[in-house]
Amino acid sequence: MRFNIHTHSEHSHDAAVTIDALCERAVAENLSGFAVTDHCDCEYAADPLTFTRLLDSCDDTLRARARYGDRLVIAAGVEIGEALYDRDFARKVIAARPWDVVLGSVHAVRWPGWEIPFSMIDFSGCDDAFLQAYLRRYYDDLREMAETEDYDVLCHLTVPLRYLCGKFGRRVETAVYDGQIDGILRVVIERGKTLEVNTSGCTAERPYFMPDEAILDRYLAMGGRNLTVGSDAHTAERLTNGLAQAEAMLRKKGVTELTYYLRRQPVVYRI
Ligand SMILES: [Zn+2]
Ligand SMILES: [Zn+2]
């Protein structure tokens, strides 16, 4: 069996693929099922589209389930981004539909003057001290989100590195955040939540997991058992990107079971 807990459709601001096209691709690629998890970026709560798009996403997903449900498990999900920006809005979205899974993410840290997704920030002119402080704030925000907000799966832990290192080629000392990261992993374990292995950065030649293997090793050593894989696909072509690589990597670590969600309850399957 193979599931994908994390995908985006035309109901996300940064994707154009229809849910039907994702379903067709899933069938063609022999996926057992996937969750549609469109963006709810809470710093944009004032834009009415942020809310209505999510209702459309859920309604379309439920319609797709009626059409493809004999071939696929289709979960209606939402990716709550930076719930700390507007906790009431996050709660309103979660209450608005019968979601199968709620992803918890941080794409924008609470940094005065830069309250926008870090994917939109030009970090090229920032000095090392700034980058370090910014990253500390990311982990602090993620920790607070993980501790206080409603979610099932904590997503793409370490994602700012993709921009700082991948996009801007900055060298970042990562060991200095181990304490903060371990604190987040502990919260995930204690609250019975699930940690995502995000494969969006994988290429055929080179795996790239968020979080990386060193962090996953620490999660397992701490007793963390709930893991899920998500390609974070924004196109049909990338629907299964990296999933097999992640499963192979996890199997080598002795992981034999992964989790997806239905009606916000974990469902365990073997890999
Ligand atoms: Zn995300
Ligand atoms: Zn996403």
Cα(39) to centroid(ligand 2), Å: 7
Cα(15) to centroid(ligand 1), Å: 12
Please, which residues have CB within 8 angstroms of residue 43's CB and are 6 or more apart in sequence? 81, 82, 85, 86, 108, 115, 116, 117
pLDDT in tens, 212-264: 999 999 999 999 999 999 999 999 999 999 999 999 999 999 999 999 999 99
Cα(78) to centroid(ligand 2), Å: 9
As a whole number of angstroms, the distance between CA 52 and CA 66 comes to 22
Q: Please, are residues 15 and 235 in contact by the beta-carbon 8 Å criterion?
A: yes
Cα(257) to centroid(ligand 1), Å: 23
**3-class secondary structure per residue, the chain:** CCEECCECCCCCCCCCCCHHHHHHHHHHCCCCEEEEEEEEEHHHCCCHHHHHHHHHHHHHHHHHHHHHCCCCEEEEEEEEECHHHCHHHHHHHHHHCCCCEEEEECCCCCCCCCCCCHHHCCCCCCCHHHHHHHHHHHHHHHHHHHHHCCCCEECCCCCHHHHHHHHCCCCCCCHHHHHHHHHHHHHHHHCCCEEEEECCCCCCCCCCCECCHHHHHHHHHCCCCCEEEECCECCCCCCCCCHHHHHHHHHHCCCCEEEEEECCEEEEEEC
Cα(252) to centroid(ligand 2), Å: 26
Looking at the CA of 4, which ligand is closest? 2
Specify the pairing of strand 3-4 against strand 33-41. Answer: parallel
* Strands laid side by side in the 194-198 sheet: 3-4, 33-41, 73-81, 101-105, 153-154, 194-198, 227-230
Looking at the CA of 234, which ligand is closest? 2
Q: What percent of the chain has pLDDT over 90?
A: 93
Cα(156) to centroid(ligand 1), Å: 7
Please, which residues have CB within 8 angstroms of residue 185's CB and are 6 or more apart in sequence? 195, 215, 218, 219, 222, 224
pLDDT tops 90 at residue 174? no
Cα(62) to centroid(ligand 1), Å: 22
Q: What would the mean pLDDT of 160-176 be, rounded to a whole number?
A: 89
Looking at the CA of 13, which ligand is closest? 2
As a whole number of angstroms, the distance between CA 139 and CA 195 comes to 15
Q: Please, are residues 195 and 158 in contact by the beta-carbon 8 Å criterion?
A: no
Cα(232) to centroid(ligand 2), Å: 5
Cα(48) to centroid(ligand 2), Å: 20
**What per-residue confidence (pLDDT) applies to 211?**
98
Global pTM exceeds 0.85 = yes
pLDDT tops 90 at residue 138? yes
Tokens of 98: 């019968």
As a whole number of angstroms, the distance between CA 76 and CA 84 comes to 23
pLDDT in tens, 74-85: 999 999 999 999
Query: Which chain residues have CB less than 5 Å from ligand 2, an ion?
Result: 79, 232
Looking at the CA of 156, which ligand is closest? 1
Looking at the CA of 119, which ligand is closest? 1
Mean pLDDT (the chain, rounded): 96
Tokens of 150: 């409603």
- Domains identified in the chain and CATH numbers: 3-270 (3.20.20.140)
Q: What would the mean pLDDT of 103-132 be, rounded to a whole number?
A: 93
**What per-residue confidence (pLDDT) applies to 160?**
95
Looking at the CA of 155, which ligand is closest? 1
Cα(79) to centroid(ligand 1), Å: 7
Q: What would the mean pLDDT of 21-42 be, rounded to a whole number?
A: 98
Give the burial class of 15: count Cβ atoms within 10 A of its Cβ; 0-12 exposed, 13-18 middle, 19 or more buried: middle
